[in-house]
Every structure is written in C-alpha cells, then in structure tokens.
Amino acid sequence: MPIALGLEGSANKLGIGIIQHDDTGKSPAKVLSNIRDTYITPPGQGFLPRDTAQHHRDCILQVLRKAMKEANVTPKDIDVICFTKGPGMGAPLTSVAVVARTLALMWNKPMVGVNHCIGHIEMGREITGAGNPIVLYVSGGNTQVIAYSQNRYRIFGETLDIAIGNCLDRFARILGLSNDPSPGHNIEQYAKRGKNYVPLPYTVKGMDVSFSGILSHIESLAEEQLKAGTVTPEDLCYSLQETLFAMLVEITERAMAHVGSQEVLLVGGVACNEKLQEMMGQMAEQRGGKVFATDERFCIDNGIMIAQAGLLAYSTGYETPLEKTTCTQRFRTDEVYVAWRE
Amino acid sequence: MKMDNALGKKKYDLTAATAHTGPLEVSHRGRRRKKTRVRLSLPTNCIQLTRMSFGHSLHLEIPFPTPRLASIAQKTLSVDKELKVDQVKRILTANGDKLIVDFECTSVKMLRVSATSFFEMLTMVTSTMEQFDVDE
C-alpha cells in the first residue's frame, strides 16, 4: 500500500497532498490529506514570481506539517516524495523543490519530478473514473486539448498566446475585482448577473485558440464604455465568458470528432467554472457523450495530484535522480512517457 | 563586513569564524593567503586576474549540527545551477560539519543578487531540517 507525498507550487497556490494506492488494484486511490495555501494579491494586482516564491517559502513547512498530521503519517510511512518539476514560474518551483530534496535526503526516500499538466490529468481520471477522455486542461497558465495515444498525452490543440485563465484574470484586474478566492470565481459571479451580450472577436484557428486579441479588445471596450455607462461590468464578464468558452467547446468538439471519443474531462482551475461545464455538457449531450469534472479541491492546483501522478510513475519503476531534480518553466505535456497506461 | 580595497579587489567576508585582522589578509578555505603576494614586483592587477577571474568574491562557512546535515545541504543546494553562468560562479563543498560556499561574480550587483537568492534557499533547507529531521 504505497504512500506518496506531493508538493506543488508552480503558480500562486502552495499545495501538499498525501495519497495511498492499493497495489492489489482492488480499491481506488485514497486521499489521505490535501492542504492548500493560496497567495492572494490585492485587487488590480497580479502575482509576481519573487513575491510568490516568498509566500511559498513562508508557508510550505506549516502546510507540510498540517498535511502529515491530517494523514496521520510519519516520515517512515512515506515511500516516495513527488514534486512539481514544471511547467510554471521559476523561483516558486525551485523553492518547493529545495524542500522536497531536503526531505528526501533526510528521510532517505526516492524522488519523482512530476509534470504539472499530467498531475491534473491523472487526478481528474482518478477522481471521475473517466476511462479515456479528451482532456480540456484550462488554467491561468495553460490551455490545452489533450488526448492519450501510445504512451503519451498528445496535445491536439492549445492556445497560441496566453492561457484562458490569464485572460480572465487580467480582465478582472481591469475591473478591479477581488482576487479572493480567485479572480476567475468573481468574474463568474458577475457574469451570472450579465444581461446584454456584447459581440467580441472570436479567434479559433483550426485546432488552436488565441486570447490576447480578445483581451486587448475587451480592455479598450471597458475603457470607453464603462465610464459612458453604455455597458455594465456584468455584461462584459458575461460576454467574455460566452465567447471564450464557446471557443473552447469548439476545439474540444473537433478533437472528440477526430479521435472518436465520447468523454470530455475538464481539469485545471478554469474547469471549476460552472458555465463552462454547462456549455461543454450541452455539446457533449448533442454528440451522445459525457462531461467529467472535479470540484475545486482537485481542479485548482493542489499537492495531491502531484502525489498521484508521481506514485503512478514510481510504481512503474520511474525515479528522478537527485541531480535531475531541477525545475523548468517549459515542460511540454507530451514530453512525459506514460508508462502506467497501455 | 570589511571592504578590502588594498588589492583593488573587493572582498566581503561574512564568516564569524574567521576574523579580519588586516586589509591584506583574506581567508580562503581556512587557509591564509600568503602576504608575499603583495611584495611581488608584478602589478597586483595581474595577480588578481589570474587568481580570481570575475573580480568580486564572497566566501562563506556555515556550521551545521552534524556532517550529515552539512552534506545534505551541499547536495540539495548544488542541484540548481546559477542562471547567469557568465557572470556568476558558485562552488559548494561540505567540509566536516561546515558548508563552504564560494561566489565569484563580475559585479557587485550580481554578487548581491546571487548571495541573497542563495540565502533564501539556504534558510529553506535549514528550517526544513530543524522541523522535519528524523533521528537516525
């Protein structure tokens, strides 16, 4: 019954999770603990690498203690220490990796460096039970449509510039929305009260999407029309969501048709959005398919997903030697050899 | 902290263990560098260039409770390479229960930046050790 400790800190969330696998394969994985601490900036401000790394350094040991206490494990019980190797922000990633290395050397445990995107996918699959879905991975840092093929998670479509969550977060800053609990959550609440649809550019490019043009457009719209009173922030939030999510639905549907899959798995922070889940659900239903999504415990960056993906890799005999436990800001999803699937 | 300007080279010595006794004395891995260097007829600039290519250096000796912990710190902190390799050189060694750190940088600013960054990671290592070490 192997137990893995997972440490995540690629963006502004510091997450630590402890997971237990049943190696007889009879029961699903057991989440022993999953603790997260989010670095929230004042309204109108994003989070910068240096301050984010400082936040992680300030709270990681406390979160680790809490996670081990809740899981009721001691260092002796842990079999492998998993950490986010990338992609993400440099200094925050390294701050977490340094702690992971220290623990591994003190406790004499092997380490596994995990790809953040794969963490999301594997946790989504584990929690929802989706067998072989098209994965829509949407967050502040990534926007990818992924399908599994021959031991790799292949990227079918992605953003050509910024991630959708980045687009939403930056617009929330323009509006001065609070970053608590997250800017995207507050845009979603505003959008629920929107009444008028404002046409925005729609930029799907084949299997890919691009968001920076839409962002510039809506920023200048907000600048001109909010003061004039011709449009409300709620209308803008509503219109932005409608447009962005419709684009995602289109590229996901294209991948489903291409691969012949009937399942869609939504992962990443933006996947928490109920409007996106609803729109994706409508599309899937029309095709006789189904949408799988998890709740905010697993959608938003967390440590348990790192533990999950790490333990899956470890159980196939994979281990990251100490000198390779560096972090990298660019780490493609298809770089990882998925040995634990057929 | 003493600024050593006698050789036209700045040297910052933060070690509590090695006290600065004079402007020409610099500690180098516990060994005193020979004063005879400044009595040579060659201009001091040449000597300094052959000894320290980058110009600004920092030597640290950090005591740990045990050699085991010093070794763990050395291994952990050696994994990440310096980003600006052409401007910063960092060498970490474990000597008994001490972690020895040597920086060589092309400018004071780079030295400050690298050292600050290093201390941030070092304190992560020491805090983790303090709170989560197991008795062997």
Q: Chain B closest CA to A99's CA: distance in Å?
A: 6
Residue A185 assigned as binding residue: no
CATH code of the domain made up of A132-296 = 3.30.420.40
Cβ contacts of residue A158 below 8 Å, gap of 6+? A143, A144, A145, A208, A209
Q: CA Rg, chain B, in Å?
A: 16
Taking CA–CA distances from A68, the nearest residue in chain B reads B132
Q: What is the pTM of this model?
A: 0.88
Do residues B118 and B77 lie in contact, with contact meaning Cβ atoms separated by under 8 Å? yes
Nearest to A256 by CA among A236, A235, A285: A285
- With 0-12 / 13-18 / 19 or more C-beta atoms within 10 angstroms meaning exposed / middle / buried, residue B91 is exposed
B77·A64 Cβ contact <8 A: no
| Beta strands across the sheet bearing A290-293 | A152-158, A143-149, A134-138, A263-267, A290-293
Do residues B85 and B96 lie in contact, with contact meaning Cβ atoms separated by under 8 Å? no
Do residues A3 and A77 lie in contact, with contact meaning Cβ atoms separated by under 8 Å? yes
B134·A76 Cβ contact <8 A: yes
Q: At what angle do helices A183-192 and A274-286 cross, to 10 degrees?
A: 70
* DSSP-derived pairing of the beta strands B56-63 and B11-13: parallel
**Which pLDDT value is given to residue B30?**
42
- How far, in Å, CA of A11 to CA of A49, rounded? 8
Condensed to tens digits (0 to 9), the pLDDT of residues B7-61 reads: 334 444 444 333 333 333 333 444 444 433 333 333 333 333 334 568 899 999 9
- How far, in Å, CA of A183 to CA of A177, rounded? 7
**Which pLDDT value is given to residue B135?**
74
Residue A108 sits at the chain B interface (C-beta within 8 Å):
no
Q: Give the sign of the dihedral formed by CA A93, CA A95, CA A96, CA A98.
A: positive
Q: Which ranges of chain A have pLDDT less than 50?
A: none
Tokens of B10: 């700045």
Burial B14-46 (b: 16+ CB within 10 A, else e): ebeebeeeeeebbbeeeeeeeeeeeeeeeeeee
Which residue is it, tokens 């036209």? B8
A326·B77 Cβ contact <8 A: no
Q: Which of residues 22-61 of A touch B (CB under 8 A)?
A: 53-54, 57, 60-61
* DSSP-derived pairing of the beta strands B31-32 and B27-28: antiparallel
Residue B136 has pLDDT above 70, yes or no: no
ipTM: 0.92
Among B81, B127, B129, the residue with its CB nearest the CB of A106 is B129
Phi, psi dihedral angles at A156 (to 5 degrees): -85, -35
**Which pLDDT value is given to residue A162?**
98
**A3-122+299-335 and A132-296: identical CATH topology:** yes
Q: Give the CATH class of A3-122+299-335.
A: alpha beta
Do residues B105 and B99 lie in contact, with contact meaning Cβ atoms separated by under 8 Å? no
Q: Where are the beta strands (DSSP E) in chain B?
A: 11-13, 27-28, 31-32, 56-63, 88-95, 98-105
Residue B6 has pLDDT above 60, yes or no: no
- How far, in Å, CA of B134 to CA of A107, rounded? 7
Q: Which of residues 46-65 of B touch A (CB under 8 A)?
A: none
B80·A75 Cβ contact <8 A: no
Tokens of A133: 């879905």
Count of C-beta atoms within a 10 Å radius of residue A131: 12
Residue B132 sits at the chain A interface (C-beta within 8 Å):
yes
Q: With helix as H, strand as E and coil as C, how does B10-27 read? A: CEEECCCCCCCCCCCCCE
Residue B76 sits at the chain A interface (C-beta within 8 Å):
yes
Spell out the domain ranges in chain A: 3-122+299-335, 132-296
Q: Which amino acid is at A235?
A: D
Do residues A312 and A77 lie in contact, with contact meaning Cβ atoms separated by under 8 Å? no
> Which whole number is the average pLDDT over B73-93?
96
